[in-house]
Amino acid sequence: MTAIDFGVIAIMLIFLVRGIWIGFIRQLASLAALILGYLFAGRYYEQISPHLSFLIPSPQISFLVTYALLFLAVFLGVLAIGYVLKKVMSLSLLGWFDRLMG
């Protein structure tokens, strides 16, 4: 086996342990948060950026700040939903299933 094989196996083991540790729901929520944050921020930053022009005069910096704020807001929102779903799974005594699926 080469170093690349060992690297791939190590990465897979890290994600396996992380999935078992945090569970399927939070693992899925973190992936969805990244994807939805990227899509939402990429789609709406140009429409929202002019509303920040009174705070940030430079259009380029305004675009960057708007993109970052939108991404962060969506990311944290989806993570919060994942946290609530994980708590619901734990309360319904399905926490073991969540970790098994992770």
Range with the lowest mean pLDDT among 45-49, 89-93, 98-102? 98-102
Note every long-range contact of 26-29, with CB atoms under 8 Å and residues 24 or more positions apart, other chains counting. Answer: 26/82, 26/83, 26/86, 26/102, 27/102, 28/82, 29/78, 29/79, 29/81, 29/82, 29/83, 29/85, 29/86
Task: Give per-residue pLDDT as tens, 45-66.
Answer: 888 888 877 887 887 888 888 9
Of the two residues 94 and 81, the one the predictor is more confident about is: 81
Give whole-number Cα distances, 76 to 1, 16, 96, in Å.
40, 23, 25
The confidence score (pLDDT) of residue 99 equals 62
Average pLDDT over residues 14-25: 73
